[in-house]
Chains A and B, each alone.
Chain A
Amino acid sequence: MKALLYLLITQLKNRMLALKKKPALLILYIFIALMLFLVIFVSIMMEVESTQLNFADERVIYMILGGIGLLFLGTFITTGLSTGSTLFTMSDVGLLFVAPISSKKILLYGLVSTLGKTILASFFILYQIVNLKANFGYGLKEILALYLIYVIITIVGQLLSIATYIYSNGNTKRKKVIQTVLYFFAGIFLVTTLIIQRNQQVSLYETVLRIADSSWFGYVPVGGWAVMFFKGIVEGAIFDVLLSILCFTILSILFVVFLTRGTADYYEDVLHSTEITHQKLKAAKEGKKYSQRNRKVKVKDNEYGLQKGKGASAIAYKNILEMKRKSRLVYINGYTIIASIGAAIAGYNIKGEVIGAYTVLGALLYLQFFLTAFGPFKFELAKPYIYLIPEKSIKKLLAVSINSIIKPCIDGVIIFAVLTISGGCNPLTAIFLALAYAACCALFVGMTILYQRVLGAQPNMLAKAFVGIGLIAVFLGPSIISSVIVAAMLPDALLFLSSLPFTICCILFTIIIFLLCGNMLDKVEYSEK
């Protein structure tokens, strides 16, 4: 145990000492701490009207808390069915698991270590103190209660995930039983919600609020217990608080007993998830994308080989083959479906308002702006082949980009067709919005090339958000302004053409970028990142 205590303390000490060598990180931490104190100070000084009439509906917080609890319950069980979760790092596996130390003590070390990390990682909740005070009249006590319950459900969730993995690993029958039970209770919950809505004749939103506020929901594992704990704190119901803590404690003890029963050989079970976590962290540190295949990819005889392509075009056909392996419908994937569902919901609600249809376009483009960075282009640049293939740089750039340009064309047609069918806009507007979407996505592809050419790498999300604002101002600013001017000049019957100037500008900018950066592969450096 001394060794484990030494490890915990030394790691903590070295982590703090390491900040001396990273002044920027130290400044960031000091800034975060100062902001936290400031937020707490402001919240203490802030005067809030004592009348409850001004506050938002408290049940919203119960709904969010209960929702997070249930989401964690479902997510951690699902993770447990696939990879499991871990309390350890690869260095723990390499050095601790083989050391002559009791596996139960090592589990305790893992729990304490994870608890510490979770406590730190959950600090973000405390920043909501001003918001929660202004809207709900909550004080420090309630915020700390929210913080504490979030830490508790995270830890319990991880234990649940490990226990699920140990119980179901390599046993398809058990996996199916757990899945069935999970779906069964999710179904029951859904049906109950609908029955309550029907009986009480209220909206779905109001029904969910009523459920979260109901006394019976407090007995629902994890999500309900979390609400029971928080409500107990808010209402001063000590019994509810103690009952909730008791439920969480019993569940945690059961998991720990399950993990440490017999010879407590959980090493093998956490190894896989530890390796995956390690790979994810490594990929994140190196700025790479970690992709884990959840389904076994079968190589079918009729989908074997590139079949076409010579020279640079082989890259494009290779990308198509890779896309086929990821999605049977090649260009139509999860994004297409989710975006189409979103468009259908939006279309149903906006009921043909032109501004609404343009808002859908804006929202989709906003999403696409961030998604394009993770397209095949970045992936291809991280391999040496694209640099080595004896073809002109511009040809290779076009080949690697072509599928990223075609996909938004197909997505655009599907998404805006759905928007039209659901009543969001008329067919003519939809056609031109789809064109605008495809053209702007092509511009985003061009922008990733521009990033690589100018910065020598793809920026991370934060940097991209900042750089992107500038680039959007340069490229999309004139495009949007030209469309607004044209829209103001067009008669009502031709308003569907409003997006055309935007589309033309995007295409022109894309062509200019490709022409200017065409020699990029001869100029930039290969980086495995």
Chain B
Amino acid sequence: MLSVRNVTKKYGKLLANDNINFEVNAGEISVLLGPNGAGKSTIIKCIAGLLKFQGNIYINGNGNKSLQAKRDLGYIPEMPSLYDMLTVWEHMEFIARAYSLENWKETAETFLDRFELSDKKKKLGSDLSKGMQQKLSICCGLLPRPKVILFDEPMVGLDPHAIKELKNIIMELRQEGSAILISTHMLDSVDEFWDSANIMMDGKIAARRTRNEIAGSGEDLETLFFTITEGDR
């Protein structure tokens, strides 16, 4: 379970996140929506422990900077960040060793297979296309089987097969009880599986809805998004 409590993040005078509060429960897919510059990536990076902030963030009850929290957390960045001189398989091996994983090879093979990277195992990170880098970045983030997973614009640059596979994986992870937070602009891509939505505006959570709350209202994610971000405009 992910818990974000009173998180404020400033870059100099710029208030990127203003007293953010939300939770993502185990077995829940929560989406972070909002226009450019709303502060989505910043809160994701704060949760991942990559930025300093005021407030508290808990991963399964542990402070997000603790070792146990790091063991439970998976982060897939918006821009894939790979090592030029490591092959696809070596990236998986590096993550497995760094996270001290046991019996990881079969899981790694499965992920690579699902993202059609099995025949690219010996390709160096620098030789991969942007889309392949994104696929490998996803595989690296998921290999430790994290209980809380952060996806920052995960669909960008992926081909249709990979998008379909990623959606399947996200739904499987929900079934396995993972708490999943996805930041995205592509409303269609999460429409079929989101459980809760946090819509951000100017660094704040402008609205929060659950699928159950709007189920009978005929409102969909897109209508909700435009109603909140554009108002009566």
Q: How far is the CA of A109 from the CA of B86 in the complex (A)?
A: 42
Residue B87 contacts which of A304, A309, A385, A389 (CB distance < 8 angstroms)?
A304
Task: Out of B48, B50, B98, name the residue touching A312 (CB < 8 Å).
Answer: B98
Of the A-B pairs whose beta carbons lie under 8 Å apart in the complex, a sample of 19, sorted by A's number, is A297-B124, A305-B90, A306-B97, A309-B97, A310-B97, A311-B97, A311-B100, A314-B98, A321-B86, A322-B83, A322-B86, A384-B48, A384-B50, A385-B81, A387-B49, A389-B99, A390-B67, A391-B67, A523-B52
Number of interface residues of B (CB under 8 A): 34
> How far, in angstroms, from A304 to B49 measured CA to CA in the complex?
32
- A326 near B85 with CB under 8 A, answer yes
**Considering the chains assembled together, what is the distance between the CA atoms of A131 and B95 in angstroms?**
58
B70-78, B156-164, B175-183, B216-224 - interface stretch: B70-78
Q: Is B45 an interface residue (CB 8 A)?
A: yes
Contact with B along A298-327 (1 / 0, CB 8 A): 010000111001111011011001100110
Q: Which residues of A contact B49 (CB under 8 A)?
A: 387-388, 522
Within 8 A of B (CB), among A268-322: 291, 293, 297, 299, 304-306, 309-312, 314-315, 317-318, 321-322
CB neighbours of A293 from chain B (8 A): 84, 126
Residue B51, interface by CB 8 Å: yes
Q: Which of A427-461 contact B (CB under 8 A)?
A: none
Measured in the bound complex, the distance between the Cα atoms of B101 and A311 in whole Å is: 9
A311 adjacent to B85 (CB under 8 Å): no
Q: Which of B28-83 contact A (CB under 8 A)?
A: 45, 48-52, 65, 67-68, 70-71, 73, 75, 77, 79, 81, 83
With A317-B97, A384-B48 known as contacts, the answer to whether A299 contacts B73 (CB < 8 A) is no
Are the C-beta atoms of A297 and B77 separated by less than 8 Å? Answer: no
- The winner among A309, A325, A390 for most chain B CB atoms within 10 A is A390
- Say how far A253's CB is from chain B's closest CB, in angstroms: 40
Question: What's the nearest-Cβ distance from chain B to residue A320, in Å?
Answer: 11
User: How many whole Å from B129's CB to the nearest CB in chain A?
Assistant: 15
Q: Please pick, from B50, B86, B122, B140, the residue contacting A318 in the complex, using a CB distance under 8 A.
A: B86
Asked whether A525 and B124 contact (CB < 8 A) given A304-B87, A306-B93, the answer is no
Seed contacts A297-B85, A390-B99; 14 additional CB < 8 Å A-B pairs: A293-B126, A299-B122, A299-B124, A304-B90, A306-B94, A310-B100, A383-B81, A384-B50, A385-B81, A385-B140, A388-B48, A388-B50, A388-B73, A388-B75
Residues of B within 8 A of A (CB): 45, 48-52, 65, 67-68, 70-71, 73, 75, 77, 79, 81, 83-87, 89-90, 93-95, 97-100, 122, 124, 126, 140
Contacts A318-B86, A384-B48, A522-B65; is A389 near B81 (CB within 8 Å)?
Answer: no
Provide the bound-state CA to CA distance between A51 and B125, in Å: 65
Going nearest first, the 6 A-B pairs with the smallest beta carbon separation are A526-B50, A314-B97, A390-B70, A322-B85, A325-B85, A314-B98
Question: Which secondary structure characterizes the binding site on chain A?
Answer: loop
> B50–A387 contact, CB under 8 A?
yes
A117 is an interface residue with CB less than 8 A from chain B: no
A174 at the interface (CB under 8 A from B): no
* Contact call B98/A526, Cβ cutoff below 8 A: no
Residues of A within 8 A of B100 (CB): 310-311
Shortest distance in angstroms between A389's beta carbon and chain B's nearest beta carbon?
Answer: 5
The answer on a CB contact under 8 Å between B90 and A526 is: no
Residues on A facing B (Cβ under 8 Å): 291, 293, 297, 299, 304-306, 309-312, 314-315, 317-318, 321-322, 325-326, 382-385, 387-392, 522-523, 525-526, 528
Whether A384 lies near B77 (C-beta < 8 A) is: yes
Q: How close is B27's CB to chain A, nearest CB, in angstroms?
A: 23
A387: B residues at CB distance < 8 A = 48-50
Find chain A residues with CB under 8 A from B83 CB. Answer: 318, 322, 383
Measured CB to CB, the nearest residue on chain A to B52 is A525
- Residues from chain A with a CB closer than 8 A to the CB of B93 are 305-306
The chain B residue sitting closest to A309, CB to CB, is B97
| Closest B residue by C-beta to A308 | B97
Q: How far is A73 from B109 in the complex, measured between Cα atoms in Å?
A: 51
* In contact, A526 and B45 (Cβ under 8 angstroms): yes
Closest Cβ–Cβ distance, residue A277 to chain B (whole Å): 18
| A314 to B94 alpha-carbon distance, docked (Å) | 6
Contact in complex: B81, A528 (CB < 8 Å):
yes
A310 to B95, CA, bound (A): 10
Q: Give chain B residues whose Cβ lies under 8 Å from the Cβ of A523.
A: 52
In angstroms, how far is the closest chain A Cβ from the Cβ of B80?
A: 10
Residue of chain B at shortest CB distance from A524? B52
Chain A: CB-nearest residue to B97? A314
A388–B79 touching, CB < 8 Å: no
Q: Which residue of A lies closest to B11 (CB)?
A: A525
Residue of A nearest to B9 (CB): A525
Complex Cα gap A391–B67 (Å): 6
Residues of A within 8 A of B95 (CB): 385
Q: Which residues of B contact A297 (CB under 8 A)?
A: 85, 124
| Interface contact A388-B45, CB-CB below 8 Å | no
In the complex, A291→B84 CA distance in Å? 10
